[in-house]
Amino acid sequence: MYKRSIVLTVLLGLGILVSAQSMPAKPAPPQAGVNPVVEKYINDNEQKHVQELMDFVSIPCISSLPSHAADMTKAAQWLQTKLQSIGMDSVQVMQTDGNPVVFAQWNNAKGKPTVLLYGHYDVQPVQEALWTSAPFTPKLENGRIYGRGASDDKGSALTGIWAVEAMLKKIGKLPVNVKFLFEGEEETGSAHLGAFVAAHKDLLQADAAYSADAFQKSDTQGAMIMSVKGASTMEFSLKTANRDLHSGVFGGRLPNAAVAMANIVASLHTPDGKVAVPGFYDKVTPMTDEEKHMAATVAYDEQKELTAYGATAFTGEKGYTSQERAWYRPTLEICGMWSGYTADEGFLNIVPASAHCRIMCRLVTNQDPIEIMALIKKHINSQLPEGVSIAWKDIGGFGIAAAKAPGNTAAFKAAVAVLTQLYGTAPVLMGTGGSNAATSVLDKELGLPPYSFGFLQEDENFHSHNEFMRVSDLQKGQLAYCMLLNYIGNQKTK
Amino acid sequence: MYKRSIVLTVLLGLGILVSAQSMPAKPAPPQAGVNPVVEKYINDNEQKHVQELMDFVSIPCISSLPSHAADMTKAAQWLQTKLQSIGMDSVQVMQTDGNPVVFAQWNNAKGKPTVLLYGHYDVQPVQEALWTSAPFTPKLENGRIYGRGASDDKGSALTGIWAVEAMLKKIGKLPVNVKFLFEGEEETGSAHLGAFVAAHKDLLQADAAYSADAFQKSDTQGAMIMSVKGASTMEFSLKTANRDLHSGVFGGRLPNAAVAMANIVASLHTPDGKVAVPGFYDKVTPMTDEEKHMAATVAYDEQKELTAYGATAFTGEKGYTSQERAWYRPTLEICGMWSGYTADEGFLNIVPASAHCRIMCRLVTNQDPIEIMALIKKHINSQLPEGVSIAWKDIGGFGIAAAKAPGNTAAFKAAVAVLTQLYGTAPVLMGTGGSNAATSVLDKELGLPPYSFGFLQEDENFHSHNEFMRVSDLQKGQLAYCMLLNYIGNQKTK
């Protein structure tokens, strides 16, 4: 059972310990209900929602690929059109130094709190050969919508929009003021979100914030993420000559870029699984007792996880459990490495003259992602063998700070109450190995850590191939958002 | 100057020391001349030869790509048609367990020696993105024919055929009996040449053998290769899970296939540049004094070589010169290595579940390529970290034995005499880091080591991109072959 949550651990996160056990399992407050007319409307429009999501998913807005710049604009405009059509005000596609942000608000609930709903429209790249259907030609099959972004985060983001649409259409008003904020750079580290939010504090100010970039623990239990990791990504190339060289003529006497890369990558970890970059752990905050407790008590079947992913052994830093490593220890992974002749078939008898590597670190509280990148760069530069030169690629500002979110706010308690009512059981409180810049950005700039309020599930292959979203969760998500807005509308949340 | 020969060092090779100095620089024997009518014919048909080579080059007969099987047959048939058209007898495309062999003979020089001319019609793969023109749409520019195989070995192979064509057309006969043997697996290690030759000893028997898969030292000096290296190629994949995994959720706790690969590749060499595979050097034959002398005396400008290839340092086994390493020390190189997200742009936040590696060794006399592969396999299998499985790919029998060719035969002396006459100076005698199975196969099965008699040049980018052949060398090669056949026709060579 726990396997799910450790895998779902991808997206948004909150913080500070409120154990699942200590959460009062109070009966559902009446104010969190859904108007039956609204509920009927949501149910009657399932087919329309599926069609809309498929339409949205068909836009290949991959934020890490410069060649898809036009698709980013197209996706932002798609959201703009949708938000205008449901009666939101001030709908704007707002420029940043990167991909645009889409903003909308509805400010007619005089005297009521304002709720900021965050999501992102950009998606991960695809390795199309691995997909069983075209990633940007979505298809509906067995109650699932397949396509890149169907789950992360387009499907989840639309649930909040549809909930507002249903209420405005059937009741003509909302129980609270609502602001939508959709960014287009989440998958590349939200390089420009911080500057954007800092520049628009008044526009974005609210009493509570929630993120659709989040997940359920399972069909029958919600999840609240208490911490997210930070992240740094880097890419570099080695060069040994101006062309690949004949392996007979030059082998054994001019440097091989693949061999140099292997030695450098091998130097990044110690034999006992620690990151070997000097200074990497210097500023790491140790796990708190509460975090240790959380990692130890959230149920987790290691063998089941290994089986599910076809793996046979855990690896990594000694002295910590697998769950502790995932949630509370910093990591350094190679996401891509290539050199020489890499075609599926054939053989080219060369000494490769270049080699390439992509690195991603996941960081914990107090580690500065920029400082960590500098340490890694320094270490790798110091490892260069004779005859090997290095070039670092600027891949945009993927430097996300880790964040914890407070478990004692009214906004947090509202989400817990609604999820408890929705599932009939309290949500699980947990950490995550995933990263999301919005957590630290909205907390820092607005004092509004966005609490997880999304309806993805772990097996939906986000970031991998054959990503999908369950239609049933699209419907569940809409009801949940209606409940949340109603709940907050009946109490002061800040 | 020497830079050229070390680079050309690719193809065919002979053996046993006959130093360039000890070669009698005797005046050109009159019997090596070319009939002026034949020479005029060769000169008059330059344009026709260029067109024929371009036609031949346009067949993408890449032997290491199974998807090009039909092209192999097409190239063999092209040769068959050509050989029939010039009046050769018994022209046959002969099946092997791999790509076909093309055979032809002309046996009408009663009482004269028989000369076996070897070449290959298969070519290396291409990394098309690196080419400035399409590799299989040859073009003529500034006296050079660009295209894959133009130099290695289609251009060189055609010179012998055209020489025979010119003599038959203008004189109606040849001064010796001639057999042509063209294989289609040289670039993949000639896996089936040994069995083919063993099964057709009578058909192939001759008094001397020469290989067109060879090169000049420069425009103004020939080269005779006294030894060729052996070769082993291997390919393997590592697997850690059944799919790539999210780097946040699984990073630091499930094995990373790229990291495992880096560690394995790093384990293949010692810090002082030796191959670290146990047993690798056990059967290595040390350099002879003559070989040491040859490596020391053949002129070689290290700095010029580094500059030409954009390299900044030599590498490899300590205790040997760069030339000694190239010609007489066994090597292990990585020709390709890849794992995870390797697209040119973008970033995928994954823990790669698989990694792949291509290895090529160049071996010296007495090392058994099959035994070496077993030693490498054993070493790598012993290095597998926990949670990592390995699969070895059968990439066909690229296991070539190193060979030396005797420098005291009449066939050798004939080649030296003709090259001396052709250039006005004796050919340089040298080793090579390159491999060619025909050397050991023809020596072992027929007692006929094929002596190098080809007209490539080092800068023609064989195996690399933008391969080309000089038109002037096509013409020079034809004259040289006419001279060689005339020379042998006037003396007993075996």
- Lookup: tokens for B379: 């070493």
At A67-96, the pLDDT tens digits run 999 999 999 999 999 999 999 999 999 999
The Cβ of residue B284 has, within 10 Å, a number of other Cβ atoms equal to 16
* Ranges A162-166, A426-430, B478-482: which has the least confidence: A426-430
Beta-carbon contacts of B48 under 8 Å, excluding residues fewer than 6 positions away, are none
| CB of A331 closer than 8 Å to CB of B251 | yes
Percentage of chain B exceeding pLDDT 90: 83
- For the record, the structure tokens of B202 come out as 């009578």
Taking the CB of residue B343, how many other CB atoms lie within 10 A of it? 15
pLDDT tens for residues B304-356?
999 999 999 999 999 999 999 999 999 999 999 999 999 988 888 899 999 99
B437-462 mean pLDDT: 93
Which residues, other chains included, contact A286 with Cβ-Cβ below 8 Å and sequence gap of 6+?
A: none
The strands making up A89-94's β-sheet, listed across from edge to edge, are: A89-94, A101-106, A177-183, A114-120, A208-211, A451-452
What is the pLDDT, as a whole number, of residue B62?
A: 97
Average pLDDT over residues B107-121: 97
Chain B within 8 Å of A10 (Cβ-Cβ)? yes
How many angstroms separate the CA of residue A254 from the nearest CA in chain B? 5
Instruction: Name every chain A residue with its beta carbon within 8 A of the beta carbon of B7.
Output: 246, 249
Q: Which residue of B has its CA nearest to A262?
A: B262
Please report the beta strands in B55-138, taking only residues with DSSP state E, as ranges in sequence order: 89-94, 101-106, 114-120
Q: Is the pLDDT of residue A203 over 80?
A: yes
Residue A16 reports pLDDT greater than 80: no
pLDDT tops 50 at residue B4? no
Which of chain A's residues have a Cβ under 8 Å away from the Cβ of B397? none
Q: How far apart are CA B228 and CA B212, in angstroms?
A: 15
C-alpha distances out from residue A469 to A146, A461, A490, B422, Å: 7, 9, 32, 75
Predicted pLDDT at B146 = 98
Which residues in chain B are contacts of A346 at CB distance < 8 A? 62, 64-65, 125
With beta carbons less than 8 A apart as the criterion, state whether B98 and B192 touch. yes
What is the predicted pLDDT for the residue at B397? Answer: 56
Strand partners, A2: none
The yes-or-no verdict on residue A4 having pLDDT over 50 is: no
Q: Do B315 and A386 touch (CB under 8 A)?
A: yes
Cα–Cα distance measured from residue B226 to residue A399, given in angstroms and rounded to the nearest whole number: 58
pLDDT (0 to 100) of residue A33: 84
Residue B258 pLDDT greater than 70, yes or no: yes
User: Once rounded to an integer, what is the mean pLDDT over residues B201-226?
Assistant: 95
Window B:372-391, CB contacts with A under 8 Å: 385-387, 389
Q: What distance in Å separates the CA atoms of residue A200 and residue A209, rounded to the nearest whole number?
A: 15
* Mean pLDDT of the residues in chain A: 90
Amino acid at B33: G
Output the pLDDT for position A492: 55
Which residues of chain A are within 8 Å of residue B231 when distances are taken between CB atoms?
A: 248, 349
Distance from CA of B375 to the nearest CA of A (A): 19
B127·A9 Cβ contact <8 A: no
Q: Residue range A141-165: average pLDDT? A: 97
Instruction: Select from A158, A31, A38 the least CA-distant residue to A417.
Output: A31
Q: Tens digits of per-residue pLDDT, A293-348?
A: 989 988 788 999 999 999 999 999 999 999 999 999 999 999 999 999 999 888 88
Flag if B248 and A231 touch (Cβ within 8 Å): yes
Q: Which of B225, B247, B298 is the best substitution to test chain A (most A C-beta atoms within 10 A)?
A: B247
Q: Write out chain B residues lying below 8 Å of A234, CB-based.
A: none
Q: Which of A191, A131, A190, A221 is nearest to A11 (CA)?
A: A190
Please, which residues bridge with residue B101 across strands?
B94
What average pLDDT does range A460-477 have in this prediction?
93
Nearest to A127 by CA among B312, B144, B352: B352
**Is the CB of residue B351 less than 8 Å from the CB of residue B251?**
yes
B289: enclosing H helix or E strand: helix B289-297
Question: A48 and chain B: CB distance < 8 Å anywhere?
Answer: no
* Closest to A229 (Cα-Cα) out of A318, A153, A293, A291: A291
Strand partners, B182: B102, B119
- Ramachandran angles phi, psi of A82, nearest 5°: -60, -45
Calpha distance B66→B396 (Å, rounded): 11
Taking CA–CA distances from A261, the nearest residue in chain B reads B262
**What pLDDT score was predicted for residue B368?**
94
Chain B contact set for A310 (CB, 8 A): 239, 241-243, 353
* The pLDDT of residue A11: 30
Average pLDDT value for residue range A207-213: 96
Can you give chain A as a three-state secondary structure string? CHHHHHHHCCCCCCCCCCCCCCCCCCCCCHHHCCCHHHHHHHHHCHHHHHHHHHHHHCCCCECCCHHHHHHHHHHHHHHHHHHHHCCCEEEEEECCCCCCEEEEEECCCCCCCEEEEEEECCECCCCHHHCCCCCCCCEEECCEEECCCHHHHHHHHHHHHHHHHHHHHHCCCCCCEEEEEEECCHHHCCCCHHHHHHHCHHHHCCCEEEECCCEEEECCEEEEECEEEEEEEEEEEEECCCCCEEHHHHCCCCCCHHHHHHHHHHCCECCCCCECCCCCCCCCCCCCHHHHHHHHHCCCCHHHHHHHCCCCCCCCCCCCCHHHHHHHCCEEEEEEEEEECCCCCCCCCEECCEEEEEEEEEECCCCCHHHHHHHHHHHHHHCCCCCCEEEEECCCCCEECCEECCCCCHHHHHHHHHHHHHHCCCCEEECCCCECHHHHHHHHHHCCCCEECCCECHHHCCCCCCCEEEHHHHHHHHHHHHHHHHHHHCCCCC
Report which of B399, B398, B453, B401 is spatially closest to residue B427, judged by C-alpha positions: B453
Where is average pLDDT lowest: A345-349, A445-449, B282-286? A345-349
Confidence of residue B3 (pLDDT cuts 50, 70, 90): very low
DSSP state of B241: S
CA A323 to chain centre: 18
pLDDT at B56 over 50: yes
Q: What confidence tens digit (pLDDT) does each residue in B221-233 have?
A: 999 999 999 999 9
Q: Identify the H or E element spanning B479.
A: helix B471-489
Which of A239, A322, A346 has its CB closest to that of B62?
Answer: A346
How far is A187 from A360, CA to CA, in rounded Å?
13
Structure token digits, residue A87: 């009666």
Are the Cβ atoms of A329 and B252 closer than 8 angstroms? yes
pTM for the structure as a whole: 0.85
∠ Cα A100 A101 A103 (to 5°): 140
Give the burial class of B67: count Cβ atoms within 10 A of its Cβ; 0-12 exposed, 13-18 middle, 19 or more buried.
exposed
Which residue of B231, B247, B326 is in closest CB contact with A362?
Answer: B247
Contacts A317 to B, Cβ<8 Å = 252
8 Å CB contact between B23 and B38? no
CB contact under 8 A, B340 and A343: no
pLDDT at B10: 30
Between A60 and B243, the more confident residue is A60
d(CA A133, CA A58): 12
The mean predicted confidence, pLDDT, of chain B is: 90
* CA-based nearest residue to A415, from A472, A382, A454: A454
Residue B334's SS3 state is strand
> In b/e form, how buried is each residue of A47-71, taking b as 16+ CB within 10 angstroms?
eebbebbbebbbbbbbbbbeebeeb
Instruction: Tell me if chain A has a CB within 8 Å of the CB of B200.
Output: no
Let me know if B21 is exposed, middle or buried by CB neighbors in 10 A (0-12, 13-18, 19+): exposed
Between B86 and A400, residue with greater pLDDT: B86
Query: Is A213 a residue whose pLDDT tops 50?
Result: yes
Residue to mutate among B217, B235, B240, B249, with most A CBs inside 10 A, is: B249
User: Do A361 and A231 form a contact (C-beta atoms < 8 A)?
Assistant: yes
Q: Where are the beta strands (DSSP E) in B420-459?
A: 428-430, 451-452
Chain A residues whose CB is inside 8 A of the B333 CB are: 247, 251-252, 256, 259, 351
- The pLDDT of residue A14 is above 50: no
Predicted local confidence at residue A10, as pLDDT: 30
B12 has a pLDDT exceeding 50: no
**Residue A9 contacts B, CB cutoff 8 Å:** yes
Say yes or no for a CB contact (<8 Å) between B248 and A242. Answer: no
A189 neighbors A437 (Cβ within 8 angstroms): yes
- Are β-strands A354-363 and A331-340 bridged in parallel, bridged antiparallel, or unpaired? antiparallel
Going by pLDDT thresholds of 50, 70 and 90, the confidence category of residue A431 is: very high
Pairing of strands B208-211, B114-120: parallel
pLDDT single digits (tens) B366-379: 999 999 999 999 99
Q: Average pLDDT for residues A207-223, to the nearest whole number? A: 94
The Cα A100–Cα A450 span in angstroms is 20
Helix (H, G, I), strand (E, B) or coil at B411: helix
Other CB atoms within a 10 A radius of the CB of residue A394 amount to 7
What pLDDT score was predicted for residue A19? 34
Give me the total of CB pairs closer than 8 Å, taking one residue from chain A and one from chain B: 361
Unique residue bearing structure tokens 């149920």: A299
Asked if the C-beta of B425 comes within 8 angstroms of chain A's C-beta atoms, the answer is no
pLDDT (mean) for B229-248: 94
B464 contacts A246? CB cut-off 8 A:
yes
Gap from A345 CA to chain B (nearest CA, Å): 6
